[in-house]
Each structure stands twice: as structure tokens, then as C-alpha cells.
Amino acid sequence: MSDKLRREKLAIEGGKPVKTTPNPPMFPGGIEIGEEEKKAVLEVLDHRYLFRYYGPEEFPSRVRLLEEEFAKKMGIKYALAVNSCTSALISSLVAVGVGPGDEVIIPGYTFFATCAAVIAAKAIPVICEVDDSLTLDPDDFERKITPRTKAVIPVHMRGVPCNMDRIMDIARKHNIKVVEDTAQACGGSFKGKYLGTFGDCNAFSFQYHKIITAGEGGMVTTNDQLLYDRAQEYHDTAACWRPGGPEKRFSSARYRGELFPGVNFRMPELIGAVARVQLKRLDGLIEKMRKNKARIKEAISNIKGIEFRRLNDPEGDTAICLVFFLPTADLAEKFARALKAEGVEANSIYNKGVPDWHIYAHWEMILNKWTATPEGCPYTCPYYKGPEPRYTPDMCPRTLDLLGRSIHIDIPPQLSEEDCNLIAEAINKVARAYL
């Protein structure tokens, strides 16, 4: 065997792996946590100001400052800090008026929390296809609309913007509320406008896997003061927040629908302190990921037999991952195993035998309509006038086909140029063997 052929032997077949450098974990902001975050936390502790409304001495609430800075950064009027993105989604749905008898359209590829939030708001989730951008398919969204459709949740999945022009046009045409799920795409944009600023109410995440992180936490954004007021009321039991400060908390409602019992989704001051520092890191993290992704993508752009995930706006992609499609699911699974052997953390997104709460076919609780109590709400709600919801694992065949044929590779900002070159070399090596 020639030296060239020996070098080309796949690692999965006993050859030498292309990449032996360590793979940074995909915690973009989490890995960057350092002295600035420590200083911010200690400052809160030194003043013993752990609750956003008061403490033993005067001290500016870090949560309130985060809200102001986040709204300014995103170019939106109102930002409301909460304790998770799930809380942000529920608060947003309640704010826009979703409730018993309503349907909310969601994509079949999103973290389960998107669907769980609909249930928590006492509405029926309607699962929709994604297209080759792996975000909400506008055509299927429009097909799924019924007289009971109250809202849609476009999810900017894996950091890529949805087609917000078409989604907003369809929603406005049918008088449907829009709640953007921007959990995985903070800092991304569509046609020059930040994601999470298009919808009526929108949700962000600061959970540890996200681009910027405080471990947990989330944000609601809106340009509508009424929706902002309603989200505030809901996230804070309607007990503490009132216009004019704590002394006004027991004042009467200013308008019908302003005051109602809510829950406690408040963000703690320590989370707010960390998130403020992380917000300053956002642009730098995205710049590095975009540079890394562009380097890898350019180096594999001539491979015949792969199809890159379509980007609704390439300039707005956060670049947290690289996704491309292969002709068959079997080939994608084989390709991913070979890449792992070459030292690249890759996977095919959908595998029937590997439960993944990001794919509707694995949402056993929804497919079986399991509920916390035997009454079966919201599926059995007397206010719901539609046919009994029916969910099956194969109800979104295009979604499963695309995810099954996919190769997914995380693009941490901590990758070096050498790492990017080796990832591209490994992809080319496997492609020469299998395509």
C-alpha cells in the first residue's frame, strides 16, 4: 500500500486520526467566565443586595440594570428579566393572551421547553414542519392555522434566524400573535435587525449551554407596553411590581386585564450580575464563531454530495454550529461515526434509538397526552372547540428526513485556526471515502 493510501485510511478502520487536539466544550460564554464575573458577584454579596427590590442599603439592582442594558443592546423598548427561558416563554404567551381553547403552532425541531410552555399556558400545541433551514417552515405554518390559532412560536434553532419576513406576514394576515424563541440565537439577526425583536413578545435564555450564560436565567422583550405590563404581572405574582415602585404595589388596576394572579419567575441579583458581564462578551463570542465557521465551511465547500443547511440570512447566523445534509440517513450516521473517530465531535441530529428532547418524535409526554392530573387538561378543556389533538411520531416526515440526513458540528469560539483546519481536513477525508 502506498504512503498516500495509508495516510487516507480512516481512523474508524484503524488509520491515524486527523485531529488529536482537544475539543472545547460548547459553552461559549461559560468557558469565558473569569475575574469580571467574580467581581460582579462579590460586589452584590458585599452589599448583601440579593433581592431586586430591596436590601439592607441603597444599591442599584443588577437585574434592573441588565434589563436596561439588554433593551438598549437589542434596540427594543422593554426587557424583563426572568429565571429561565421557559419562564420567558410562558410569561410571553400569557402576556399576548394565550389561554384555554387556544392553539399555538410550534416547530417539530426545538427543545421540549417550547412545547411545555404552551401546555403551561393552558393551550394546545400544534406541531409544524421545519424546512431545510431547520427552522419553522412558513408554508406548513400557514397550512396548520385554524380559527383557534392564537399564536406561533418561531424558534431560531441552532443559532439560525427563521424567515421572519414570511412568518410575520402570515401572522399579521391571520391576526396571530408571534412569540420568538431566541434561546439559541442571542445576538443573531435577520436583515440587520436583532432576533427577539420581531415578535409581539419574545424569549431569550442565559442557561449554561447558551451563547452567553449566567447558569440560568432568561429575558422577555417587547415593544408593547401593555404586553410588558402583563408579563411583569405574571412573572411576579402581581404582588411586588407596580408602577411607581413597591409603595404602589397594592394600588388598583389601571385597566381591565392588568392585574391577575401570577407566579414567581423573578431573576435573582446574582444571576443578573453575571449576565451583565456576559452581555458585554456577546459580540466578541459571535465574531469568533462566525470566523471559525467561515474557515471550516470554505475548506469543505467543494465536496460533492453534501448540501449545506440553508440560511435565511447568512449575515445574521450566530454560527454556533455547522450543519450539512447527506443523501441518506444511513450514510449520515456512518459519516458521523467516522468523523468522531477522526477526532471531530459530530453527530446526526435524529436517530430513532437515541432520545433527544429537541425532536418532537421523542416527546413521549406530548405524543401520549400525559398530564399532571387525570382530567387531561388542556386537551380535554371544554373551551377547546376543535377536534381532539392527534400526535404521532411520523406526523412531520420532512422534519425527520432532514434531521436524519444531517451532520451537526458545534463551533465553539475557543477553537483555534489549527482546530478549524483539522476539522475541515477530517470532513474532507471522510467525504473522500464515503462520497
For Cα atoms 169, 172, 178, give the angle at the middle one, nearest 5 degrees. Answer: 95
Determine the pLDDT at residue 53: 87
Number of DSSP helices (H) and strands (E) in the chain, helices first: 13, 13
Q: Spell out the residues 6+ positions from residue 2 whose beta carbon is closer than 8 angstroms to its own.
A: none
Q: Which single residue is written with the C-alpha cell 450514510?
A: 331
Residue type present at position 3? D
Question: Which comes out higher in pLDDT, residue 248 or 168?
Answer: 168
Average predicted confidence (pLDDT) for the chain: 94
Among 37-51, 58-72, 199-213, 256-270, the least confident range: 256-270
Confidence of residue 432 (pLDDT cuts 50, 70, 90): very high
Q: Cell for 101?
A: 381553547
Determine the pLDDT at residue 429: 97
Determine the pLDDT at residue 239: 58
| Burial environment of residue 237 by CB neighbours within 10 A (0 to 12, 13 to 18, 19 or more) | middle
Q: Residues 90-123: pLDDT tens digits?
A: 999 999 999 999 999 999 999 999 999 999 999 9
Residues 49, 65: contact at Cβ < 8 Å?
Answer: no
Determine the pLDDT at residue 124: 98
Among 2-6, 55-59, 155-159, 230-234, the least confident range: 2-6
Q: Which single residue is written with the C-alpha cell 400526535?
A: 391
Query: Dihedral through CA 115, CA 164, CA 230, CA 385, nearest 10?
Result: -50
Q: Residues 7-16: pLDDT tens digits?
A: 589 999 999 9
Q: What is the percent of the chain with per-residue pLDDT over 70, rounded to a whole number?
A: 95
Determine the pLDDT at residue 244: 57
Query: Dihedral through CA 109, CA 114, CA 116, CA 118, nearest 10?
Result: -120
Determine the pLDDT at residue 3: 45
Q: What is the percent of the chain with per-residue pLDDT over 90, rounded to a whole number?
A: 89
3-state helix, strand, coil in the chain (%, to 5): 40, 15, 45
Determine the pLDDT at residue 290: 98
Determine the pLDDT at residue 6: 44
**Positions marked catalytic:** 210
Determine the pLDDT at residue 5: 45
Task: Report the 10 Å Cβ neighbour count for 272.
Answer: 23
Determine the pLDDT at residue 421: 98
Provide mean pLDDT across the span 319-339. 98
Helices (H), 303-396: 329-341, 364-367
Q: Residues 209-265: pLDDT tens digits?
A: 999 999 999 999 999 999 999 999 899 986 555 565 555 555 667 777 777 889 999
How far is residue 414's CA from residue 250's CA, in Å, rounded to a whole number?
50
Q: What DSSP string describes 212-277?
A: S-SBS-EEEEES-HHHHHHHHHHHBTTTS--TT-GGGTTPPPSSTTS-----B-BPPHHHHHHHHH
| Burial environment of residue 367 by CB neighbours within 10 A (0 to 12, 13 to 18, 19 or more) | middle
Determine the pLDDT at residue 259: 78
Residue 296 has pLDDT above 50, yes or no: yes
35-279 classified as CATH 1.20.1090.10: no
Determine the pLDDT at residue 242: 56
Residue 399 has pLDDT above 80, yes or no: yes
Q: Which single residue is written with the C-alpha cell 401546555?
A: 119
Give the global pTM. 0.95
Residue 198 has pLDDT above 90, yes or no: yes
Determine the pLDDT at residue 246: 52
Provide mean pLDDT across the span 387-396. 95
Q: Spell out the residues 6+ positions from residue 411 whose beta carbon is closer than 8 angstroms to its own.
A: 289, 292, 293, 296, 319, 320, 321, 322
How far is residue 261's CA from residue 239's CA, in Å, rounded to a whole number?
8
Provide mean pLDDT across the span 76-85. 98
How far is residue 332's CA from residue 289's CA, in Å, rounded to a whole number?
24
